[in-house]
Amino acid sequence: MTTSSAPGKVYLFGEHAVVYGEPAVPCAIERRARVTVDRRDDDLLRVHADDLSLDGFTVEYSGASEGTPDVAVSESLIDAAMGYVDAAVEQARAAVAERRDDGPDPETIGFDITIESEIPLGAGLGSSAAVTVAGIDAATRELGVELSPEEVADRAFRAEYDVQDGEASRADTFCSAMGGAVWVEGDECRTIETPDLPIVVGFDGGAGDTGALVAGVRQLREEYGFAADTVEAIGDIVREGEQALQSGDVAELGRLMNFNHGLLEALGVSSRSLDRMVWAARDAGAEGAKLTGAGGGGCVVALDETDETGTALRFTPGCEEAFRAELDRDGVRAEP
Ligand code: MEV
């Protein structure tokens, strides 16, 4: 039996634009998904997952890929999560086949898989990337192969790319595999130095459909020149943002996050509850706030030195949960 964990993330800057080759800076936070993999005697996958949401919003799921799950959350979210697990196992098997020519064909090896996650599904905190990254690491190690975090990131990207029909950047998976803050621009992925940041996350209890939101931006970008310019402008914000990050200038980071949110709103990926939380965070004294991830619903990220517990956001109508999130400098790791 082998267990690995990987962190969720917030986007300081650059989601959506990163799909078109602009840079993005996601940043890992101390909310992790743990995946335990146990080799079976047949080639089946059985998946058990409790608590696929934030504390206090427990979602029970238990099922098997060959059976009918006992579902207490939206079936489409569960289906999506199971798609990532299948794709992660496929990538792990391929990685093992590439490394080993002894032993049984990895395609014939099945697994019992248990997922424990502190990251809500589809809410912009990188739940699918964290599960995919941890799943690939655990499944390869269970079969006696150690991949570097960069190799896990690459395999996890391929898994997400397949599940999302080619509409995925390397940002979520690279960040989850490496930890800390990272720079992703096309195929160029690197970690970047960052000071500890006063990150506050607000969650509206909902989720967005990443595929549909990415497709919506693509259509807008093809239809309107100004939407294409908006995507490029987000890239400019990210480049400015890297400098502010290097100099630890939280006020400037916040200003740039506010610009970034405005442009995401213009691209149609915000929502009423996300906008409300963004404004509540700003009104409470945050240096800046924006939606994080694909949008449509889910989470916002704010930088606020004064709000130790996310209290200001917690009392905003439409905010189900808010918390202070520490930067997680650990990426994927083996768990005892
Ligand atoms: C989703 O977490 C982030 C997007 O930029 C899509 C991607 O980068 O794959 C919207």
What per-residue confidence (pLDDT) applies to 73?
46
Beta partners for 113?
Answer: 37, 47
Round to whole Å and give the CA distance between 206 and 122.
8
Could you tell me if the CB of 119 is within 6 A of ligand 1? Answer: no
Residue 178: burial class (beta carbons within 10 Å; 0-12, 13-18, 19+):
buried
Atom of ligand 1 nearest to the CA of 292: 2
Ligand 1 centroid to Cα of residue 295, in Å, is 9
Which pLDDT value is given to residue 315?
Answer: 83
User: What pLDDT is recorded for position 102?
Assistant: 83
Ligand 1 atom closest to Cα of residue 168: 9
Question: What is the structure's pLDDT at 78?
Answer: 65
Exposure class string for 226-242: b at 16+ Cβ within 10 A, else e: ebeebbebbbebbbebb
Q: Give the model's pLDDT for residue 23.
A: 98
* Distance (Å) from CA 39 to ligand 1 centroid: 32
- Angle 77-81-82 from CA coordinates, rounded to 5°: 115
Domains present along the chain, CATH in parentheses:
2-192 (3.30.230.10), 199-325 (3.30.70.890)
Residue 76 has a pLDDT of: 60
Asked if 239 and 272 touch (Cβ cutoff 8 Å), the reply is: no
* Residue 188 β-bridge partners: 185
Q: Please tell me the pTM assigned to this model.
A: 0.91
336 alpha carbon – ligand 1 mean position (Å):
31
123 is in an annotated binding site: yes
Evaluate: CB of 294 within 6 angstroms of ligand 1: yes
Q: How do residues 29-42 score in pLDDT, each as one tens digit? A: 999 999 999 999 98
Question: Could you report the predicted ipTM of this complex, rounded to two decimals?
Answer: 0.98
Cβ(18) – ligand 1 distance below 6 Å:
yes
Catalytic residue from among 137, 154, 172, 204: 172
3-class SS string, the chain: CEEEEEEEEEEEECCCHHHHCCCEEEEEEEEEEEEEEEECCCCCEEEEEECCCCCCCCCEEEEECCCCCEECCCHHHHHHHHHHHHHHHHHHHHHHHHHCCCCCCHHHCCEEEEEEECCCCCCCCCHHHHHHHHHHHHHHHHCCCCCCHHHHHHHHHHHHHHHCCCCCCCHHHHHHHHCCEEEEECCEEEEECCCCCCEEEEECCCCCCHHHHHHHHHHHHHHCHHHHHHHHHHHHHHHHHHHHHHCCCHHHHHHHHHHHHHHHHHCCCCCHHHHHHHHHHHHCCCCEEEECCCCCCCEEEEECCCCCCCHHHHCCCCCCEEEEECECCCCCEEEC
Is 125 annotated as contributing to ligand binding?
yes
Query: Which parts of the chain sit beneath pLDDT 50?
Result: 53-73
130 has binding-site annotation: yes
Does the annotation mark 304 as catalytic? no
